[in-house]
Chains A and B, each alone.
Chain A
Amino acid sequence: MQPVSSPPTRPGGLVAAFLASLLILFIAGPVLRLLLDATPTSLAGAARDPELRASILLTVLTATAATGLALLLGVPLAWFLVRARFPGRRLVAGLIELPVVIPHPVAGIALLLFLGRRSAVGGVLANAGLEFVSHVPGIVAGMLFVSAPILVSGAREAFHGVDPRLERVARSLGDSGFQAFRSVTLPLAGRGILAAALLSWARAVSEFGSIVILTYNPKVASILIYDRFTLYGLEAAVPAAVVLLLVAVAVFLLVRLLQRGHETA
C-alpha cells in the first residue's frame, strides 16, 4: 500500500494537485500583489497620515473592546455548551453560529433595528447614555456580532480538550466548581481560548458590512479604505490597505504559533 505522505504520481493525483495549486495561487496572489505595491515611501506616507492613524487606532480599540466583551460573555457560554446538559442546548449552539451565515449588511440592518433609538432596547440604552447608531458603541456592536461566534466556537473546542474528570479530581481535593474552573480548566484551555480570541479580534478588525450601516463615521480602517477608494481611486486606498493587511498577517502568524505550541504541548 502506498504511504499517504508520498507524492501523488497517478493522473488523478496530478489533477488534484493542479486544482489545489490554482486555489492556493488565487489566495496568495492578491495578498502578495498588495504587499508588493507597498513601497517604503508609501508606508512612511501612510504612517504620517493623521486620518489613517486615527482610523487604525479606532479599529484596534473597538476590536479589542469587542473581543473583551466576547471573552466575558462567550467563555461562560462555551463552558455551559460543553459541560452542562440543559433543554435547548443545541438550539443555543446553533443560534450563536447564526451570524456566520448572515450577510453582514443584513446583520447591520438587524442591529440598526434592534439598537436604533426608535427600538425598545435602543431607546432604553440611549436614555441611559449609550448610543449605537453613528457612535463608537455601534462599531463595537457590529464587530461583536460577527466575531463572537468565532470566539465561542474556539473556546468550545478548547474546553472539549479538557477531560472533565480533571475537574472532578480537583473538586474531590476541595475545590469549588469555580475554583476547579480557574485552577484546572482555564489554564488547560487557555491557549485555545487565546487563539480563538486572536481570530475573533482579527475578524472584528476586518468587519465592514455591518459597521458601514451602523456607524459610517467615525471611520474604522475598513471603511476608510473603502471611502478613499471610492473618492480618490486605487492609489489612495493601497497604503491603508497594506497597513491593515500587515496587522491581519501578524495576528494570523501569532495564532499559528499558539496552535503549534498547543499541538506540541
Chain B
Amino acid sequence: MIRLEQLTVPAGAFTLHNVSLEIPEGAYTLVIGPTGSGKTTLLEAIAGHVPVRDGRVFLRGVDVTHLPPEQRGVGFVYQQYHLFPHLRVRDNIRYGLRHGTQSPAEQDARVESLAGMLGIEALLDRGVGRLSGGEQQRVALARALAPRPSILLLDEPFAAVDPSMRHLLRRELRTLHEREGTTTLQVTHDFDDALRLGDQVAVLSEGRVAQAGPPDQVFRFPNSPFVARFIGAGTVLAGVLERSQAGTEGDPFAARFQSGALSLEVIASHEGPAHAVIRPEDILLSRDPFPGTPRNRFPARITRVERTGALAYVHLDAGVQLVAVITSATADEMQPAVGEVLHAALKATAVHLV
C-alpha cells in the first residue's frame, strides 16, 4: 500500500504541491499528466531519491519519509531503463539479490525464473549495449522485480518502444502484475495505458493531482476542462449556463448552454460560466431530420473525415467545432463528404458539464 499525505517536493524550478494519494495493496495505478507535470518527481519522492519539503510518504503502512532508498523496498524502472552498462544482462538482474540472504544457487534460480517469465533467457550472457528497446525494458523489469519488492514504480516504461511492442509489453506487464501481486504505480502521458492497465488513475497537472479515481470514471466524468482535454474525453466547449426551468434548490435542473453559435439543452447544477464535454460517440448523424426525442438537434457541416481502422471520425462545424464518431461500415454506407451539411443530434444527458 502507498499513501501520500500532502506531499510537497521541490525539484529545481518546479515543485510538486500537496499531493495526497492512496494506492491499495496489490493495485495497478497510473499517474498521467503532460510533460513537466511532476510525474517522475512523484515516483522519485516515493522511492526516496529526492528530498521531501513537506508531507509524508507511507509504504506498507510505515512512514518512510526520512528513510534512504535502500530501506524502502521499492523496485524502480526509469523511462530509459538505465541498465548498468558495465554489467552483463545476468548481472544486471542479479544486482539487487546481492543484499538478500539467498545463496548463489538460489540467486541464479531467481534470475533464470524471471528471464523465463519475460522471455529473455537467450540474452542473459550478453552485454546490455546491443539490446533493443523492448529487450532493455524486459531486463530492467526483471532487475527491479528480482528482490521481490512489494511495490514497483514504473516511469513511462513504454516510451522507448515501438507501438507494436508497446501493445505486447502492456499485456505482459499486466500478466506479470497479476502473477507477482506487486503494488504498481506507473507514470505515463497516455490515457490509453490507464484504460487498459490501471485499477486507478491520477491525473497530474502542474504538480498537483487534478483528479483521481477508476479510469472509466475519470474518462466518463472528468472534473475540469484540463482533465477532459488531456485524456481526450471529447470536445470541450467554453460557454455560459442559463436556467430554463424552475426547480428545487440544490437539485439538477434543465438549462441552456450557449457556446458561440451553438445552443444546447443540458441538465445543470449551477448557472454561469461552464465547460461542456461532448463525447464523439454521443453525437448522432443523419442525412434525414431526426424524428425522435433528442432535445438537441442542429445542422452540422462536415469539415474532415478521418478513418482509423474500424472507426471514422467526422469533424463538424456547427457554429463551434465538434467531432463525431461512426463505424467504418456506417461510413462506407453513408459516404460522408466534406462540405455536406448533416443533421446532428445529442441527448441533453450526454452533455457533461465541468
- Interface residues, chain A, CB within 8 Å of chain B? 163, 165-166, 168-177, 183-184, 187-188
Contact = CB atoms under 8 A, between A and B. Distances in A.
Given A168-B44, A171-B49, A174-B98, A184 B70 contact: no
Contact of A165 (B74, B78, B96): B78
Given A170-B95, A171-B70, A174-B98, A184 B44 contact: no
A171 B85 contact: no
A257 to B, nearest CB: 19
Interface string B65-81: 00011101011101010
A187 B85 CA distance: 10
B234 interface: no
B99 interface: yes
The bracket for how many chain B residues form the interface is: 20 to 34
Question: Which are the 8 A-B pairs with shortest beta-carbon distances?
Answer: A173-B96, A174-B99, A171-B69, A172-B76, A168-B49, A187-B86, A165-B82, A174-B70
Given A172-B49, A172-B69, A172-B74, 11 more contacts: A165-B82, A168-B76, A170-B84, A171-B49, A171-B70, A172-B47, A172-B76, A173-B144, A173-B147, A175-B70, A188-B86
Interface in B179-234: none
A166 B84 contact: yes
Contacts of B69: 168, 171-172
Given A165-B82, A188-B85, A172 B99 contact: no
B143 interface: yes
A263 B65 CA distance: 41
Contacts of B96: 172-174
Given A166-B84, A184-B84, A173 B49 contact: no
Contacts of A165: 78, 80, 82
B347 to A, nearest CB: 50
16 contacts: A163-B82, A165-B80, A166-B84, A168-B78, A169-B76, A169-B82, A171-B49, A172-B72, A172-B74, A172-B76, A173-B70, A173-B99, A174-B100, A183-B95, A184-B84, A188-B86
Nearest to B40: A165
Interface in B36-73: 44, 47-49, 68-70, 72
Interface in B127-162: 143-144, 147
Contacts of A172: 47, 49, 69-70, 72, 74-76, 96, 144
A169 B78 contact: yes
Contacts of B48: 171
Nearest to B49: A168
Contact of B68 (A173, A176, A187): A176
A171 B76 CA distance: 10
B82 A171 contact: no
A166 B47 contact: no
A187 B96 CA distance: 17
A166 B70 contact: no
A168 B95 CA distance: 13
Interface string B303-322: 00000000000000000000
A252 B100 CA distance: 45
A43 B47 CA distance: 63
Nearest to B140: A169
Contacts of A171: 48-49, 68-70
A21 to B, nearest CB: 39
A189 B27 CA distance: 39
A265 to B, nearest CB: 8
A193 to B, nearest CB: 14
Nearest to B86: A187
Contacts of A184: 84, 86
Contacts of A187: 86
Nearest to A170: B95
Interface centre among A171, A172, A176, A184 (most CB of B within 10 A): A172
B76 A174 contact: no
B143 A173 contact: yes
Contacts of B144: 172-173
A187 B72 CA distance: 25
